[in-house]
Structure 1
Amino acid sequence: MTQSATQGAPREGGAALASGRRSTKVRRQRVRAAWIFLAPMLVTLALVAGWPLLRTFYFSFTDASLSDTGGAAFIGFENYLVYANGVWYGLLTDPVWWQSVWNTFYFSIVSVSLEVVFGTVVALLLNAEFKGRMLVRAAVLIPWAIPTIVSAKMWAWMLNDQFGIINHLLMAMGLIDAPLAWTANADLSMWAVIIVDVWKTTPFVALLVLAGLQMLPKDCYEAAEVDGISPVKVFFRVTLPLVTPTLLVAVIFRLLDALRVFDVIYVLTSNSTNTMTMSIYARQQLVQFQDVGYGSAASTMLFFIIALAVVIYLYLGRRQLGVDQ
């Protein structure tokens, strides 16, 4: 080895070390800048969401009522579960609560699944080249743009068993012989709210999936077209795997909304136990029965159930994508 070569090796090593130090310093500066920019948002979030959440946790261990929250006494876990006079009492023994948990998960799983399927189909159609595509895209977003309370009230009139247009159209087509009480019938009320929710939020899923479709590389489809692969195989073997991360994002957003659903179901069916969700149950205890302690316990359980469901979903989603844990 020549003398120049032996002298060049330490120089190269020193340059690499200096470069690594600069990279580490730049990374620290970026992290520091990120925290500085995020600090106002985090403080605001702590005040707007964190403090009420902590107050809810506290009230769940008290006997607070809506008329006297200041004079609440600490009672421990009695709102959740307590054994007295040979009988278990509390939220965890209430069959109405567990019915609301079942209703919430049933509504969430069915509605989100339908929205993902229909949203993907709509996104594929909107991604195709045809005249008036921009106008159709704008029209598809109309249901999502309508406020939830307005759309729920509109559907309540349309589903009315006496003068609703849905029953009128079904009877005109000969599909039913008599008007159906969509929001009062125990067998139909849950499906009625699912239909309304799917109609309302499918455009949101379609918008996210459409954004993912437009970012896919075109050369994959050109190669599939040259090889003569059918569109169905192209979708399942090319499009669906590439758009899966977008679908996971759409599902997590919709799952969070569905698990805490309140407005659309309350407007359509009020406090009916057939469609009562965890949010409606908590509202009933807090406002209608004025039991802040018991209602706060229900709200706390709602928070932990949603958090657990989201963590499980994210864990399974990361494993599906093969992301390192």
Structure 2
Amino acid sequence: MTARERADRLAGLAFVSPALLALAALTVYPGLWVLWLSLQQRVPIFGIARFVGLEHYAFLAGDARFWNAGRVTLVFTAVSVGLELALGLAVALALQRQRAGRRLALSLLLLAWALPSVVTAKLFEWLYHPSAGLVNVILGGHAFNWLGDPRLALPGLIAADVWRTMPFVALLCYARLLTIAPEVYEAARVDGAGRGATLAYVTLPLLRPILLIALLFRTLDALRAFDLMFVLTGGGPASTTETLTVYAYRSLFQTLQLGFGAAVGCVIFALVMLVAWAYLRALRGEAATA
């Protein structure tokens, strides 16, 4: 390494050091503190504060409520993200072919995505009202209790999440479609490719990196989702919508079991990091084969 290269590296390190220090202060230190807290029994209301090691994690391994929350989290994530990718791609393709009203459609998509999740939750609370909700009116006036029926609560939450975040995927895919040169489609038509073949062998391969990025961000968001289920159902009825984040919240702030709640939070963090690592590895594989 030459002196010039060494100086450039030191200069770059000097420029990024404030950001690294801020990251350490705002994320690394609190994360380590939460990890330490998860190894303790902390119940402030009773004055309990003692070190218990891995006792909380051992309890979670056999806790039926924890495994149910994990199952709900995975089902919510898999179904909502799958629907968002499929519908977002379909909407983006429709926008690409649409001429009239495209700006209005883009504005409505952006509005749905930009709404705060709590506002979206209150909106769907009205839409799902058993007697006056628009959803039941459209379905013929049947008094379905979308948020109180254990069979309907989770599908209702998934529908609300898809409505709120599908525009994110649609806008990403639409932006990528705009960058594809018309000559690419023209060459496919010259080669005799129909609409189906063009979609399968031209459009989707070019959209694949964007879809992987959308899959990564939406999966991480869905695993950490909290606002919708907390506002709409509070984790009920009968824990059918209680995700890991809701379970952690109840442990931390309702029962004030700080150490136990911190352990649940650490499990969520580990799950998110595992998923992020898997997707980033897949993205690196995509870049290597491109």
**Are 1:279 and 1:302, in contact at CA under 8 Å, matched by a contact in 2?**
yes
Structure 2 counterpart of 1:42, which letter?
A: L
Flag the 1:40–1:230 CA change in 2: closer, same or farther, 3 A.
Answer: same
* SS in structure 2 of the partner of residue 120 of structure 1: helix
**Are 1:66 and 1:286, in contact at CA under 8 Å, matched by a contact in 2?**
no
**What per-residue deviation string (whole Å, max 9, x for no partner) do you get for residues 191-228 of structure 1?**
00000000000111111111211222332211112233
Larger displacement relative to structure 2 (26-35 or 146-155): 26-35
Flag the 1:119–1:93 CA change in 2: closer, same or farther, 3 A.
Answer: same
The runs of 5 or more residues in structure 2 that have no matched partner are none
Alignment TM-score, normalising by the size of structure 2: 0.92
**What per-residue deviation string (whole Å, max 9, x for no partner) do you get for residues 126-180 of structure 1?**
22351332222112211101110001111011101132121122115xxxxx311
Q: Is 1:269 aligned to 2:233, yes or no?
A: yes
Distance 2:9 2:176 in 1: 28
Q: Rg bigger for which structure?
A: 1
Alignment TM-score, normalising by the size of structure 1: 0.82
Flag the 1:249–1:30 CA change in 2: closer, same or farther, 3 A.
Answer: farther
Residue of structure 2 in register with 1:51 after alignment = 29
Residue of structure 2 in register with 1:141 after alignment = 110
Q: Is 1:123 aligned to 2:129, yes or no?
A: no
Residue of structure 2 in register with 1:111 after alignment = 80
Distance 1:161 1:48 in 2: 44
Distance 1:250 1:78 in 2: 37
- Per the TM alignment, residue 25 of structure 1 is displaced from its structure 2 partner at its CA by 6.8
Distance 1:309 1:218 in 2: 36
Q: Is 1:157 aligned to 2:126, yes or no?
A: yes
Residue of structure 1 in register with 2:175 after alignment = 211
- Per the TM alignment, residue 303 of structure 1 is displaced from its structure 2 partner at its CA by 0.6
Distance 2:264 2:159 in 1: 27
**What per-residue deviation string (whole Å, max 9, x for no partner) do you get for residues 45-101 of structure 1?**
2212222211110110001124478x62211111111xxxxxxxx121110001111
Residue of structure 1 in register with 2:69 after alignment = 100
Alignment RMSD: 2.0
- Per the TM alignment, residue 322 of structure 1 is displaced from its structure 2 partner at its CA by 6.3
Distance 2:175 2:11 in 1: 30
* SS in structure 1 of the partner of residue 57 of structure 2: coil
The runs of 5 or more residues in structure 1 that have no matched partner are 1-20, 82-89, 173-177
Flag the 1:36–1:209 CA change in 2: closer, same or farther, 3 A.
Answer: farther
- Per the TM alignment, residue 310 of structure 1 is displaced from its structure 2 partner at its CA by 2.0
**What per-residue deviation string (whole Å, max 9, x for no partner) do you get for residues 257-305 of structure 1?**
0001100111111032101111100001011111001111111111111
Name the count of aligned residue pairs.
287
How does 1:149-298 map onto structure 2 within 5 Å?
A: 149-172=118-141, 178-272=142-236, 273-298=239-264
**Percent identity for Structure 1 against Structure 2:** 36
- Per the TM alignment, residue 309 of structure 1 is displaced from its structure 2 partner at its CA by 2.0
Larger displacement relative to structure 2 (32-41 or 244-253): 32-41
Structure 2 counterpart of 1:300, which letter?
A: C
Distance 2:75 2:23 in 1: 31
